[in-house]
């Protein structure tokens, strides 16, 4: 989705995170600049240890920023107090890699969803309206609300849990959704559903989605813009086609070369096939 | 047709849970692996891939139990051997197994050479230290691992290095069959490629004769194996060569699975991903009919009740579906 007028949604200048100090300091994220535009699906791709998750935690306000500024909707982000943090989280939400540890095991599914309605200020709505909203959220992610009401999250499968997570996001309607490897713990078959739902959130609600992954194929399939991260820095960014089909940075080329492909197999496996 | 190294006939195994319920994790699996070839096993999590790998070693310990079937390695049936005999005479020399987190198997307080001594001494208690060292050095050299790795501790090695070291250690006795159960899924793409290259080298150098490779990552499977076998709900649903299975799957389940492949290549963005609805059946009481029928859009009433055997097709393929090849192809064309 390339609009002519792209509205800046989340941006950062010189964002840095350093763990430890002195000789033991580790620079996890090293002076990164980024501009994420509204209504786009942005992928951040990198290997393990490249600082993807640290960056996400900083964007969410879960860890402090050592240096640099983050701007949210054109204004400098202020999360100095608990109230301000709460306000900020109305605009930015996240889904994580492990759906199994994302829920409170003591609350039932309907109360998980009800909490979201209350967070959006719907505490005083009539009960029938609340149920209608929950039903709508469940149908958005192809879950049957009537089968869900009396269950606990751990009674669902991994894919269903992740879908319920998306139903929460649907009710909360944040401006930005951070998705930290949401498909890496679920099967290839359910993966398609999750990806479709993220695309649906982008297209139907106009949500900005920041998608973290280590899988180039996935990133290529879903994203508008791709950022490649190496050792805490962005080495390259651009549209998905630019980055995947015509990479410029050495690191991106290396990464693409090492990924198993089906139309262009690795040199040693191709040799093997031709002699077989 | 070259020599058959591993032949499995009607192998069935089960888990017995704490509540004394049986979970049939592998049912009636039969296949053959030829010398010098590699076989890939694909399927979603919980379909019995890893249980099949464990069962193939012939080494059963609770909660895994053997029900029936033969496992013939190079003419020897290991399915009915005693666990102790299997451990002493089969594991390491005939068959070796690498689990996903193999790198965590290294004791941090011991040097790598000690593990090699352990493996060799378990089979030959009188082996001399110098002979073991020479063998290890030679083997590490052909596999492009530095000799000084032998004197290092596990903590001094990176993840990919550890995984390669474990593979080198577990194949030190030149087993005939190597079972690799997701050996690279905990690694980065760069280390993954190094691990796969090493598995290829092992096979090219004749250190191992055949390999069984398990993963849920289909592009990787295509790059590694000659033949691919797809499992669903403890059963084998389709087998064929890697090319046939990736580009021309027949069974509706394989079709769905192969439709979920995403690679960073031109054309990926035009693909319409189609998810398979529903969940796999409960293996405590597997259904009588086709196990995939409740999720299959071509299924009829007969599919739900008729027990469906695996059928031999032309060009060495096998498929567990009531419909013929022509009928299936017509379904796919109509879409």
Give the N- to C-terminal CA distance of chain B in Å, as an integer.
Answer: 38
Mutate to test the interface with A, among B187, B221, B264, B277 (most CBs of A within 10 A): B264
Q: Judge whether B220 is closer than 8 Å to chain A, CB to CB.
A: yes
CATH code of the domain in which B298 resides: 3.40.50.300
Nearest-angstrom CA–CA distance, A227 and A233: 10
In a domain, residue A2? The reply is no
Query: Cβ B218–A188 below 8 Å, yes or no?
Result: yes
In a domain, residue A1? The reply is no
What does the pLDDT average to over B197-204? 91
Q: Which of A27, A264, A60, A39 has the alpha carbon at shortest distance from A178?
A: A60
ipTM of the complex as predicted: 0.80
For residue B224, which residues of chain A lie inside 8 Å, CB to CB? 269
pLDDT of amino acid A100? 84
pLDDT at B147 over 80: yes
CA A271 to chain centre: 39
pLDDT of amino acid A235? 94
CB count within 10 Å of CB B80 equals 10
Partner-chain residue, chosen from A157, A262, A266, that has the shortest CB–CB distance to B279: A157
pLDDT top residue among B96 and B274: B96
Alpha-carbon distance values, A197 to A159, A169, B273 (Å)? 12, 11, 12
Nearest-angstrom CA–CA distance, B211 and B209: 7
Query: Cβ B265–A263 below 8 Å, yes or no?
Result: yes
Mutate to test the interface with B, among A189, A190, A246, A261 (most CBs of B within 10 A): A189
Nearest-angstrom CA–CA distance, B168 and B186: 18
pLDDT at B210 over 80: yes
CATH code of the domain in which A102 resides: 3.40.50.300
Tokens describing residue B169: 């250690």
Model confidence band, residue B159 (pLDDT cutoffs 50, 70, 90) = confident
Domain that holds residue A176: 8-275
Query: What domain count does chain B have?
Result: 1
Nearest-angstrom CA–CA distance, B140 and A62: 45
pLDDT of amino acid A275? 45
Partner-chain residue, chosen from A48, A219, A261, that has the shortest CB–CB distance to B265: A261
Partner-chain residue, chosen from A241, A254, A262, that has the shortest CB–CB distance to B263: A262
The reply to whether omega before B63 is within 30° of 0 (cis) is yes
* Closest residue in B to A221 (Cα–Cα): B269
Nearest-angstrom CA–CA distance, A37 and B197: 41
Looking at CA atoms only, how far is residue A81 from chain B in angstroms? 39
Domain that holds residue B96: 4-334
In a domain, residue A73? The reply is yes
pLDDT of amino acid A68? 93
Taking only the tens of pLDDT, chain A with its 276 residues reads: 444 678 899 999 999 999 988 888 889 999 999 999 999 999 999 988 889 989 999 999 999 999 999 999 989 998 989 999 989 998 999 998 888 888 888 888 888 899 999 988 888 999 999 999 999 999 998 888 888 888 888 888 888 889 899 999 999 999 999 999 888 877 777 788 889 899 999 999 999 999 999 889 889 999 999 999 999 999 999 999 999 999 999 999 999 999 988 888 888 775 555 444
Query: Cβ B193–A48 below 8 Å, yes or no?
Result: no
In a domain, residue A243? The reply is yes
Query: What domain count does chain A have?
Result: 1
Q: Which of B103, B101, B97 has the alpha carbon at shortest distance from B154?
A: B103
Query: Cβ B264–A195 below 8 Å, yes or no?
Result: no
Partner-chain residue, chosen from A189, A196, A214, that has the shortest CB–CB distance to B256: A189
Partner-chain residue, chosen from B37, B44, B271, that has the shortest CB–CB distance to A189: B44
Query: Cβ B269–A215 below 8 Å, yes or no?
Result: no
Q: What is the mean pLDDT of chain B?
A: 89
pLDDT per position as a tens digit, B227-257: 999 999 999 999 999 999 999 999 999 998 8
Looking at CA atoms only, how far is residue B134 from chain A in angstroms? 29
User: How many percent of chain B have pLDDT more than 70?
Assistant: 100
Looking at beta carbons, which pairs linking A100-107 to residues 24 or more positions away fall under 8 Å?
Answer: A100/A154, A100/A158, A100/A161, A100/A185, A102/A161, A102/A165, A103/A153, A103/A154, A103/A161, A105/A152, A105/A153, A105/A154, A107/A152, A107/A153
Looking at CA atoms only, how far is residue A46 from chain B in angstroms? 10
Chain B, 12 to 51: residues with Cβ < 8 Å from chain A are 37, 44-45
Mutate to test the interface with B, among A141, A224, A260, A264 (most CBs of B within 10 A): A260
For residue B265, which residues of chain A lie inside 8 Å, CB to CB? 261-264
Query: Cβ B273–A219 below 8 Å, yes or no?
Result: no
Query: Cβ A47–B216 below 8 Å, yes or no?
Result: no
Nearest-angstrom CA–CA distance, A262 and A273: 13
H helices within A92-157, ranges in order?
Answer: 109-119, 127-140, 145-148
pLDDT of amino acid A227? 95
Query: Cβ B222–A260 below 8 Å, yes or no?
Result: yes
């Amino acid at each position: 989705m390339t609009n002519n007028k792209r509205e800046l949604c989340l941006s950062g200048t010189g964002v840095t995170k350093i763990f430890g100090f002195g000789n033991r300091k580790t620079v996890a994220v090293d002076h990164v600049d980024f501009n994420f535009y509204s209504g786009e699906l942005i992928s951040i791709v990198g290997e393990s240890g490249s600082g993807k998750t640290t960056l996400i935690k900083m964007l969410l306000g879960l860890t402090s920023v050592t240096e640099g500024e983050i701007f949210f909707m054109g204004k400098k982000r202020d999360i100095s107090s608990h109230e301000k943090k709460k306000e900020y989280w109305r605009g930015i939400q996240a889904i994580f890699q492990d759906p199994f540890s994302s829920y409170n095991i003591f609350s039932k599914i309907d109360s998980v969803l009800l909490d979201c309605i209350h967070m959006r200020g719907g505490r005083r709505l009539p009960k029938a309206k609340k149920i209608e909203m929950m039903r709508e959220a469940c149908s958005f992610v192809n879950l049957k609300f009537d089968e869900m009401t009396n269950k606990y999250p751990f009674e669902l499968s991994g894919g269903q849990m992740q879908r319920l997570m998306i139903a929460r996001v649907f009710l909360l309607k944040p401006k930005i959704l951070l998705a930290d490897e949401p498909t890496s713990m679920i099967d290839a078959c359910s993966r398609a559903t999750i990806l479709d739902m993220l695309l649906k959130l982008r297209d139907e609600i106009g949500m900005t989605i920041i998608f973290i992954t280590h899988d180039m194929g996935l990133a290529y399939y879903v994203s508008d813009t791709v950022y490649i991260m190496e050792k805490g820095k962005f080495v390259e960014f651009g549209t998905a086609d630019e980055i995947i089909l015509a990479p410029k940075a050495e690191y991106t080329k290396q990464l693409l070369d090492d990924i198993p492909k089906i139309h262009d197999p690795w040199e040693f496996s191709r040799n093997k096939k031709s002699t077989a | 047709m070259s020599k058959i190294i591993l032949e499995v006939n009607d192998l069935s195994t089960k888990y017995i849970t704490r509540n004394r319920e049986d979970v049939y994790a592998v049912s009636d699996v039969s296949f053959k692996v030829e010398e010098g070839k590699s076989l890939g096993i694909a399927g979603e999590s919980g379909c019995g891939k890893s249980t099949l790998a464990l069962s193939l070693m012939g080494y059963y310990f609770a909660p895994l139990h053997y029900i029936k079937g033969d496992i013939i390695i190079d003419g020897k049936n290991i399915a009915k051997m005693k666990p102790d005999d299997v451990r002493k005479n089969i594991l390491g020399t005939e068959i070796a197994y690498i689990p996903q987190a193999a790198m965590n198997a290294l004791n941090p307080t011991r040097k790598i050479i000690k593990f090699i001594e352990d493996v060799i001494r378990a089979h030959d208690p009188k082996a001399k230290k110098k002979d073991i060292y020479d063998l290890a050095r030679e083997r590490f050299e052909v596999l492009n691992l530095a000799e000084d790795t032998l004197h290092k501790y596990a903590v001094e090695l990176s993840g990919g290095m550890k995984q390669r070291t474990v593979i080198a250690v577990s194949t030190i006795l030149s087993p005939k069959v190597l079972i690799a159960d997701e050996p690279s899924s905990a690694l980065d793409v760069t280390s993954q490629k190094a691990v796969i290259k090493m598995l290829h080298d092992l096979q090219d150098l004749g250190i191992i004769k055949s390999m069984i490779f398990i993963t849920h990552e289909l592009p990787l499977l295509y790059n590694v194996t000659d033949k691919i076998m797809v499992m669903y709900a403890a059963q084998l649903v389709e087998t064929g060569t890697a090319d046939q299975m990736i580009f021309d799957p027949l069974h509706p389940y394989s079709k769905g699975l192969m439709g979920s492949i995403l690679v960073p290549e031109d054309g990926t963005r035009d693909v319409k991903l189609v998810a398979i609805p529903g969940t796999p059946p409960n293996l405590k009481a597997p259904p009588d009919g086709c196990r995939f029928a409740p999720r299959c859009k071509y299924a009829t009433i007969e599919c739900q009740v008729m027990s469906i055997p695996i059928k031999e097709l032309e060009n060495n393929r096998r498929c567990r579906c009531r419909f013929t090849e022509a009928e299936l192809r017509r379904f796919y064309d109509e879409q």
